[in-house]
Every structure is written in structure tokens, then in C-alpha cells.
Structure 1
Amino acid sequence: MSLVQAESPDPGLEVWKTIATEGHPTARHEAALVGFQNKLYLLGGRRINPVDVYDPKTNVWTANSETPMELHHFQGVVVEDAIYLMGAMTGPYPRETPLEKVVVYHPAEDRFDFVHSIPESRRRGGAGAVYHDGWIYLIGGITNGHVDGCRPWFDRYDPKTGVWEIMPDAPHMRDHFQAAVIGNRLYAAGGRVTSKRDNAVFSQTISKLDVYDFEIGEWLPAEQCPDLPTKRAGNSVVAIEGKLVVGGGESADQKPAHDQIEVFDPATKEWASWPSLVQGRHGTGLVRIGDSLFTASGSGNRGGGPELTTTERLVLTQ
């Protein structure tokens, strides 16, 4: 797998720009940025925060209700008219606690629900989560905050019935990462093995992506999986037009959060560099709405700060 300084994926691709919005998102990190009905929803993060909503049509951020408790280190998943906060933890660093139940946010009602119980032996935070064919799939994660307990676990959860099924372990244990689905394949990208017990909070980043093929029901062998050109955790992942976009993150290699945007094309099996973020950040997300890719909030350095209130936009087409 090679990194190529490719042509822009679209002739209209420009550079990231910081938007002068009306209002701004609450400064936070280890939160989830989710696209729902053409708006950005920023949920969770350290401390108890409001759900902040950005409407690109009006360029306005507004604050909805606060989370019912501190919720962080999760990837938000949209299922029909709700957002599922999968793999969430609560509590302070370094011994955060995984949640006992699945938390759901209903945007139309600005309401949170605690729904189905998570099996005690599969509770963790900092995991990747995707929705595919009626199931939410949860990959990796860590059971004991930042202290230890990184896992290669792979599970699926039926949001309608609460059924929880254990799947074959992923090839690599990892936490602090995100995942996405392209076609019939799941891609787990970035992350690390966090172990404060071993004085290795940031250093054990993972280059190899894990790829699960839903059609054959197996993880692909390592030689068929790409390596992330810039190793980092706390990164954001989104699928755009059949390509995997990996952005931001943190690592032991540098104090500032990463600003790189690297894009994998499964058709060519090559990586391309897209324009870098204006401000490197981790602990947030990447969301496509219409012709633009957005990110907001997050932490500007490795670790807990500075927490950002900026919103960035990359125009994909003209």
C-alpha cells in the first residue's frame, strides 16, 4: 500500500477553512460529531455538555439539552430517527468506567434514553461503531479507562430488540479510533493500545487497518489490509464516495494534534493526501453534509487541551 500525493478527488476540492459561525460549539473533546438530517450534532465529551447543533444553511450553532450524565469516548451511530452513543465511558481520567446501558438521543424530541443493557463481560469505551444491515457493530475498545484492558472484541447489537451477539475478534486490539463501512466491508482505522499502567498512553499506535467482510463473515488477512500512513489515535473516520477518509488524531510523535487527512481508495489500494486541517484536533469527528466536509471542537494538542470552539469546512465540489 502506498501513499501518493494524488490529484484532488474532485477538481473543486479546495482547502479547509475556519468558518465564522453565529455561535460556536461548546469546547470539548472525546465527543462525537454526527451528521443527522443535514445538520451537525456534537454530543458528549468530558464533563456534562449540551448537545450542540449546527445548521449549515443558517450557519448557526444552537445548544440543546445536556447529556443526563458525563458521556465520552464513543462513536455516534445514526439509526433511523435516533443517534446511538455506542461504547461510551463516564468519569475522570485515568480510570473511566464503561456504561452499563446503551444511550440513545432523539433529536426531534431533544431527549435521551437509557435503553438495552450491555452484557457485563463486553462493556468498554473508546471503541469504533458502525451501522450495517440492521445491526450496530462495535469494534475494539478498552475496559479500564486509560489504565489498561484494550480489547480486540467485535460484537453486534440489534437496536430494535436489544439482542447482543459476540463476533470473531478483530486481528488487532485497539482503542481511541473510529470505523466506517464501504460497500460490504467494515474498516477500523487508527487507534492505539492504551496502557497507563505501562506508561504507554500515547505511544502504542497501530498502523494496520482491520477490515471485516460482511459477505464472507471474516476479517481479511493482514496482507490484504492497508497500513495507515500516519499513525495516530483519537482520529476521525468517514466514508465518502467509496473512499475511507481518516483525519486528525494524536500520537506520542508530536505535541500538537495531527492535522493530516489521508484517504484510502479500496479500488486502487492506494492512499492520497487531502488538504490538512487548519487546526489539528482529536476527539471529535468528520461529517459530510452536501458538498462539504465538516469538523468542529476537539482538542488542539495531544491529551486534554486546549479544547477548541472552532468549526472547519472543506468544500468537496463546486
Structure 2
Amino acid sequence: MKRSTFLILSAFVFFSGFSQAQESGQIIETVNSPTARHECGAVAFDNQLFLIGGRGIKHVEIFNPKTNSWKKAGKTPFEIHHFQPVVYGNEIYILSAFTGKFPRETPLEKVWIYNPKDDKWREGPVIPENRRRGGGGALTVGDKIYVAGGIIDGHHSGTIPWTDVFDPKTGKWVELSDMPHRRDHTVAVGDDQYMYLLGGRTTDYHEEDNYGAFMAKTINKVDRFNFSTGKWDTLAEDLPVATAGAGAVMIKGKIYYMGGETGQVAAHNEIQVYGINTRKWEIKGSLERGRHGTQPVVIGGKMYIAAGSGNKGGGPELSSTEAVALH
């Protein structure tokens, strides 16, 4: 091969690789570490990551990306797990969550609200008795909070396709149309046009099964709710690797879905990316440590994800923090 040809091919390989950069996670060194936990919630607020809840009663812990440091705030008022927290105004809301021990965990009866400035919790409105669940997705859009999916009876039965909208100003709940695929251990992302429900499973226990057989009952369909029409549809492209208990964010016309659990022992580490315009999924990289039961956030052009479980089920609980650069 001539030297000039070699150089051209080398340049092509280099720039091709560069244009297809992988969005892979890297565990970072931090000042302090979060408490090892899983089935917790994470949300970005005031350019910091707030890690909340999980099995047992845990401190709220706050990560500052500018200093790569963690600090502790107060504890949750009781055990809260299996939820996706959302920001409304200057507070953090929890609307679909469990309390109690595996496998018959109990849905919360009320909305719970955390004020980061005061480091205080308060009770919100009562959740209608016939719409209580944990493990659903939640999303703030404008002045409303949407909740979809979940399960009624812990890890035993009652996976549902419900969709509801909650008005924080009035405390009222309104039932909307059911999604096409019932699912729990799911996550919601969206913009002012659509809400997307990704991943999850049907956690239905049957007498002929052992507890844990439901781990493999994951959902690869992605359902989409149209805020204008109030109707659901399903994307033509399935999630390449369907998992439950994963996390997701939506930014710059892309959905990033990562981690989760299935029937395999190790928690998943794939970072799967959906282009809103291309309508295609790609596996773009991986987390350094597979994890489920936690969620990523975006701060300053990077994704951060912390804690979670390294295998399916309850352990090992992790205390590491990963950063994922966005390309």
C-alpha cells in the first residue's frame, strides 16, 4: 500500500470514529460519595443533582458538578422508593411511589413535596384511592404534572396502563386515556408536544412462578402521549434492549435511555439513543457500571447518574457517580 493511500485511509478511520463518538459513562472521583442505595429517584434542580429516597429511610443527597462533591441534607419523612421525582416551581414533587418492604409494598396515599431551599418536606393533596400506584413515570409539562403506568400491589400484581394529570395549584387529579401497553418500573421523558413512556415490565406474580420470574417480562414498545389530542400511539421502532428500572433523559431532540434490569444477573449498562427526527434507535455506548433503580440527570451539557443496584434485584447497592459527555 502506498504511503499516501495509507494516510488517507487512516484519516478516514479517525474522522469516521470521531463523528460516531460513543456516549459512554465514566466513574468520576468525587468529594464524598452518596449513600449506597437503589430504587431511588434523581432530579436536576438549581444545576445540582438531588438523590432522593430508596429502600430504607435515606438522607437527601446533593451533587454539585462544579466541585464534584456530595453533601447530605435531611432524611425523607419515611421510606419512599420506586418513583420518578419531578420539579414544579421551586420544589420537588413525588406522585407515584411506594413505601414498605418487598414484595407487597404500599402506594403513597398523598403527594409529597420537598423544598430544597428549606430542606423540608410537606404533605400535598390526597391521591385518589383508585389511582394510587408506585413505579410509574412522571413528567412536568407547563403547569401540570403527568403520571403514567405503575403497579398497585408492590411486586405482586396490578400493573396498570393508567394516565393521569395533576394540577399542583388546585390539587385536582384528572384521569386521561390509558396507554397502549401497561407497564411498571418505567420512566417518562418528553417535551411540550409528547410524553414518551419507555421500558418497564409487567410485574405480575403467579402461583406457578417463583418471585423474580417477572424480571424477564420487559416491554420493548415505546408509547407516546400527544398533549394536544389527549391520545396515545406507539413508536414504530422498538427499544433495542428492553429493561425495567432504567433511567432516561430527553435533550436536543434525542432520548437517552440507560441501564435497567432483566432476567440476567448483571444490571444492564447500555446507553440507547433515539433520534426524534430520525425515528431510529442506536446503542451509542455504555455505562462503566451497569445499574438499575436510579435515574440520570442533565447538568451543564453532561449526564450524571449515581447509585442504583449493580445486579438485578436488591444488590449490590452502588455509591459511585458516573458522568456521560453528550456528543
TM-score (norm. length: structure 1)? 0.93
Q: What does the per-residue CA deviation read over 1:127-168, in whole Å, with 9 as the maximum and x for residues that have no partner?
A: 000011211111011000000011000100001110100001
Q: Distance in 2 between the 1:123 and 1:9 partners?
A: 47
Higher relative contact order (CA 8 A, sep 6+): 1
Q: 1:169 aligns with which of 142, 160, 178?
A: 178
Contact residue 44 and residue 70 of structure 1 kept, 8 A:
yes
Pairing 1:203–2:212 present: no
Give the structure 1 partner of residue 13 of structure 2. Answer: none
How far off its partner does 1:266 sit? 1.8
Give the structure 1 partner of residue 271 of structure 2. Answer: 261
Q: 1:110 aligns with which of 100, 108, 119?
A: 119
How far off its partner does 1:182 sit? 3.2
How far off its partner does 1:12 sit? 7.1
- Superposition pairs for residues 83-102 of structure 1, below 5 Å? 83-102=92-111
How far off its partner does 1:196 sit? 2.6
Q: Between 192-201 and 182-191, report the one with greater CA deviation.
A: 192-201
Q: Distance in 2 between the 1:229 and 1:160 partners?
A: 39
Q: Distance in 1 between the 2:138 and 2:112 partners?
A: 13
Contact residue 238 and residue 287 of structure 1 kept, 8 A:
yes
Give the structure 2 partner of residue 3 of structure 1. Answer: none
Q: 1:236 aligns with which of 217, 239, 247?
A: 247
Aligned residue pair count: 308
Pairing 1:217–2:230 present: yes
Structure 1 ranges of 4+ moved more than 3 A: 7-15
How far off its partner does 1:17 sit? 1.1
Q: Distance in 1 between the 2:269 and 2:174 partners?
A: 36
Q: Relative to structure 1, is the Cα distance of residues 266 and 62 closer, same or farther in structure 2, using a 3 angstrom cutoff?
A: same
Q: Secondary structure at the match of 1:237?
A: strand
TM-score (norm. length: structure 2)? 0.91
Give the structure 2 partner of residue 277 of structure 1. Answer: 287
Q: Distance in 2 between the 1:132 and 1:226 partners?
A: 25
Pairing 1:307–2:317 present: yes
Q: Relative to structure 1, is the Cα distance of residues 60 and 10 closer, same or farther in structure 2, using a 3 angstrom cutoff?
A: farther
Equivalent position amino acid for 2:111 in 1: V
Q: Distance in 2 between the 1:9 and 1:225 partners?
A: 29
Give the structure 2 partner of residue 227 of structure 1. Answer: 238
Aligned Cα root-mean-square deviation (Å): 1.6
Unaligned runs of 5+ in 1: 1-6
How far off its partner does 1:10 sit? 7.2
Contact residue 176 and residue 230 of structure 2 kept, 8 A:
no
Unaligned runs of 5+ in 2: 1-15
Contact residue 141 and residue 192 of structure 2 kept, 8 A:
no
Contact residue 262 and residue 272 of structure 1 kept, 8 A:
yes
Equivalent position amino acid for 1:230 in 2: V
How far off its partner does 1:314 sit? 1.2
Higher normalized helix content (fraction of residues): 2
Q: What does the per-residue CA deviation read over 1:115-135, in whole Å, with 9 as the maximum and x for residues that have no partner?
A: 100000000000000011211
How far off its partner does 1:183 sit? 4.2
Q: Secondary structure at the match of 2:43?
A: strand
Contact residue 141 and residue 191 of structure 2 kept, 8 A:
no
Pairing 1:160–2:169 present: yes
Q: Highest Rg: 1 or 2?
A: 2
Pairing 1:125–2:134 present: yes
How far off its partner does 1:86 sit? 2.0
Contact residue 180 and residue 187 of structure 1 kept, 8 A:
yes
Q: What does the per-residue CA deviation read over 1:259-290, in whole Å, with 9 as the maximum and x for residues that have no partner?
A: 00101112111112222000000000011101
Q: Distance in 2 between the 1:272 and 1:37 partners?
A: 31
Q: What does the per-residue CA deviation read over 1:19-39, in whole Å, with 9 as the maximum and x for residues that have no partner?
A: 110100111100001110100
